[in-house]
Structure 1
Amino acid sequence: MAHHRSTDGRTGIRGRGVSRGLVGSLLTLVLVAALVLLWAQLGDRIDRQGDQAAGTCVEGKTTVPVVADPDIAPALATIAQEYAKTDPVVRDHCVTVEVRPGDAKVTLDGLSGTWDAASLGAYPAAWVPQSSIWAADLMTATPAAVDGKPASLVSSPVVLATAPRLAEAFEGNLEWQQLPTLQRRDAALGDVGLGSWGSIRLAMPTGAQSDATALSAQAVAAQVTRTTGTLTEQDASSSRVASSIDAMTDGAPQSPDGTPVGAARSIADADDDASAPIHAVAITEQALYQLTKSDTSARLAEVVPGGPTPVADYPIIRLAGSGVSAEQTDAVSEFFEFVNKPEQMSTLTALGFRGDAPMPAPNATVTFPVTANPMPTPETAATVTINRLVYGPDSGPRPAEAGSSTTPGSTSPAAGG
């Protein structure tokens, strides 16, 4: 076959070169890929430097004070020590959570008035009292002191602690609304076959950690007003509620130390049940469990009256104001998220608090029955109204004796960064 001669005089087929446009496109793609890789590496380096900076507390160390009910404060302090092991850093601050027990009335007065750090300790970033009766009073007195809506951490139903013989006589047929009549009538227990016992002699303690007194009064108020939902201010302000609570408090036997636990201990230690000065007292199930957990035989009985059961809800009250920094606010949220993990919550439920973790085994007195009909939290104004009826115009239980374990200034340190 003949071949055409090329124009340059050489014989052969014309060579085909690579398009300059294609070469340019490939080079551009390579350059873009290199830039993307470099940008990613730079971002990773910046992130690592940020993590390293945070890990070295570039903004310093911050203490996060938390005041809690004396029943729950030691366990929270233990959990805070576990939190410390995670080396918590919030907003570039290494945080230390310090949980201290605090008398609720003293804490309320400080938060709603002038906080005296010298006697009360550092201004808290959060407060966990025994129940929402305190949240209601604080939100009424100083709304700006509360950051958001309080949420329950754990709970404990309110029950009656009685002598076992009295619990047997009721045979499960006692309701909250019967308490005023059983208190007022001198020989009321004759109706259940205990003619020599007199009245129910229900103690109505108003000392430290006596939230159960006000919560039981809420349950009575709900039944005497036939409230099926949330107790309202109108319900709580009715004359029937006032007269019922007056019947319960007027002439009520005094607890030896002003607390429900002191009254329950008096019942347990009585030589003669019938002549004992106190026959019954409202108390949290958790406190009753702690009081009786070592008993091999029942010296007390747990009575759950019919009707909606009031509950001590241990609310987490996040505090606001100039005394609480942004990093403390965020640290409170992170800490209580940590507390709510099952492995930490078990520290609380082991003490008899109800939460999302296993409960302890029943003892001779407390069996942890299912609370089938928990009472809804009343309206804030209704709670405050009941508080005034129970505790008087100043509201709230009286503070603990000076030097007791509930003194607000005593501190249980925990958790460091």
Structure 2
Amino acid sequence: MAHHRSTDRGASMRGRGVSRGLVGALLTVVLVAAVVVVWFQLGDRIDRQGEQAAGNCVEGRTTVPIIADPDVADALSTIAAEYSETGPVVRDHCVVVEVRPGDAKVTLDGLAGAWDPAALGARPAAWVPQSSIWAADLVSARPDIVDGTPSSLVSSPVVLATAPELAEAFDGELDWQQLPTLQQRDASLGAFGLGSWGSIRLAMPIGAQSDATALAAQAVAMQVTRTMGPLTEQDADSPRVASSIEAMSSGAPQSPDGTPVGAARLMADASDPADATIHAVAITEQSLYQLTRDDTTPRLAEVIPGGPTPIADYPIVRLTGDGVAAEQTDAVAEFFAFASQPEHLATLTALGFRGDAPMPEKTATVTFPLTENPMPIPETAATVTINRLVYGPDSGPVTAG
């Protein structure tokens, strides 16, 4: 009986065996799954290798030179160092942004003519002058090397620096268009109760970083021509504009160093403001802030004449053409996008510039009031015309031959 049961059990087990077809199917599924896994792993590996190659800068290191106005150059260099710490890679190039200060007239002449690396350093991929008066001159002379329309990095309104006593006498009643008359007439400040002071003695500096002089002239031109929109070439060419600027410039007292800051410092140090050789000078608010930020008792005052307020706009002039590689062009765009973020722009606004970041606390002299009526940027040809009236007919760039 026991032997019979054993035989029956073996037969039963053989009857329940797994079919070869099912085993083959299972093996096929496993094989396909393995192939798919390997395929995706290979794809991920290729992607990682591509990213690693880019991260390792397969095209090498690229320096991106930028020339900036001395007012912003140091702060912009600090932001450039922060940008470099992010390890930027552009078109498979490791990017290093180098910012250096440069005189606007020298830079303009070099860009509009033949750039001399031995004398001027590496040709820049971007330029940030104090205001659009320089961008207009470059666009007029060499539109082919300017990439797009310049945009403002930061800004600073142009104001008049005066003695506090004179600002109090003006009491908000001074207008830009009054400046030519107040400059030319003897004892003209008598209209404001200060006849013993003589005329306004408005300095018209045309040395380094004197953009405020030309911008103030633009404001006067807008007022005397009663222009409602941007100043046009026809407006700037009018005899009344030329005579107004001549009236301000003729006999204007000289700044000790040819700059607005030098003129303002002379007023601040005067023992008797009524007898000072200079009573007023157009200056950027930021420069006035830097000059007087530590004053607890005001030595100077910030006067904002009536009418549209001219603005020093620190334009980002992106350059193109020979000497500017594609990766430098892209890096310039990426860097200034980085610099314009509020946490980085704060490095500049802390110095008294205006922008989308916190401003410093007001001081005894500069209160950073809201600019209610900013002057629109004139047409390019109008700006160039005003520049020639202020700086002279030979002040333009050397045109390319």
Whole-Å separation in 2 of the counterparts to 1:386 and 1:60: 46
Give the deviation of 1:47 after TM superposition: 1.9
Deviation at 1:393, TM superposition (A): 1.2
Displacement after TM superposition at 1:28 (Å): 9.1
Moved more, 39-48 or 215-224: 39-48
> How many residues end up aligned between the 2 structures?
384
Partner of 1:142: 142
**2:293 equivalent in structure 1:** 293
Question: RMSD between aligned alpha carbons?
Answer: 2.4
Between stretches 91-100 and 68-77, larger displacement belongs to 91-100
1:189 deviation in Å? 0.2
CA distance in 2, matches of 1:89, 1:37: 32
Residues of 2 paired with 1:27 and 1:342: CA distance?
60
Q: 1:55 deviation in Å? A: 1.8
Between Structure 1 and Structure 2, which shows a larger proportion of helix residues?
Answer: 2
**1:95–1:198: structure 2 CA closer, same or farther, 3 Å change rule?**
same
Deviation at 1:199, TM superposition (A): 0.6
Moved more, 44-53 or 93-102: 44-53
Percent identical across equivalent pairs?
79
- For 1:226 and 1:85, the matched residues in 2 are separated by 51
Confirm or deny: 8 A CA contact 1:202 1:278 kept in the other structure.
Answer: yes
Provide the C-alpha distance between the structure 2 equivalents of 1:32 and 1:308, rounded to a whole number of angstroms. 75
Distance change (3 Å), C-alpha of 1:232 and 1:28: farther
Structure 1 portions without partners, runs of 5+: 1-21, 398-417
1:90 Cα deviation after fit: 1.0
Q: Secondary structure at the match of 2:53?
A: helix
Whether 2:274 is the aligned partner of 1:248: answer no
Call closer, same or farther: CA 1:42–1:253 in 2, change over 3 Å: same
The residue number in structure 2 matching 1:65 is 65
Aligned residue in 1 for 2:331: 331
The offset of 1:171, in angstroms, is 0.3
Tell me the equivalent position of 1:111: 111
User: What is the aligned partner in structure 2 of residue 166 from structure 1?
Assistant: 166
The structure-2 alpha-carbon separation of the partners of 1:23 and 1:241, relative to structure 1 and needing over 3 Å to count, comes to farther
Deviations 1:63-107 (A, max 9, x none): 110000000000000111111110111111111111000000000
Aligned AA for 1:364? A
Whether 1:86 aligns to 2:86 is yes
TM-score w.r.t. length of structure 2:
0.91
Deviations 1:226-274, CA, capped at 9 Å, x for gaps: 1111111111111111111111111111100000000000110111111
How many Å apart are 1:341 and its aligned residue?
A: 1.1
Q: Please name the residue that 1:390 is paired with.
A: 390
Deviations 1:370-397 (A, max 9, x none): 0001001100011001001101112369
* 1:322 equivalent in structure 2: 322
Q: Which residue of 2 aligns with 1:186?
A: 186
Contact 1:230 1:378 in 2 (8 A): yes
8 A contact 1:201–1:253 mirrored in 2: yes
For 2:32 and 2:330, locate their aligned partners in 1 and report how far apart those are by CA, in whole Å: 41
Q: What is the deviation of 1:275?
A: 1.2
1:318–1:332 contact (8 Å) kept in structure 2: yes
| Residues 198, 90 of structure 1: alpha-carbon distance in 2 compared, 3 angstrom cutoff | same
Q: Deviations over 1:315-366 (max 9, x none)?
A: 0000111111111111111111110111101000000000000000001100
Deviation at 1:43, TM superposition (A): 2.8
**Which amino acid letter does the alignment assign opposite residue 267 of structure 2?**
I
**Matches of 1:263 and 1:396, distance apart in 2:** 24
| Distance in 1 between residues matched to 2:185 and 2:269, nearest whole Å | 25
Deviations 1:173-218 (A, max 9, x none): 1111111111111111001000111110000000000000000000
Cα distance in 1 for partners of 2:35, 2:373 equals: 65
Change (3 A) 1:391 1:23: farther
Letter in 2 for 1:148: G
The answer for unaligned runs of 5 or more in structure 2 is 1-21
Q: Helix, strand or coil: the match of 2:274?
A: coil
Alpha-carbon spacing, 1:24–1:383, altered in 2? closer, same or farther (3 Å): farther
Report the 3-state secondary structure (helix = DSSP H, G, I; strand = E; otherwise coil) of the residue aligned with 1:196: helix
Tell me, yes or no, if the aligned pair for 1:208 and 1:258 is still in contact at 8 Å.
yes
SS state of the match for residue 161, structure 1?
A: strand
Which AA in structure 2 matches 1:326? A
Q: Secondary structure at the match of 1:389?
A: helix
Give the SS at the match of 1:253: coil
Matched to 2:81, the amino acid is Q
State whether residues 134 and 396 of structure 1, in contact with CA within 8 Å, keep that contact through their aligned partners in structure 2.
no
Report matched runs for 1:296-375 at 5 Å. 296-375=296-375
Residue pairs, 1:276-291, within 5 angstroms: 276-291=276-291
> For 1:42, what is the secondary structure of its paired residue?
helix
Counterpart contact for 1:80–1:98, Cα < 8 Å: yes
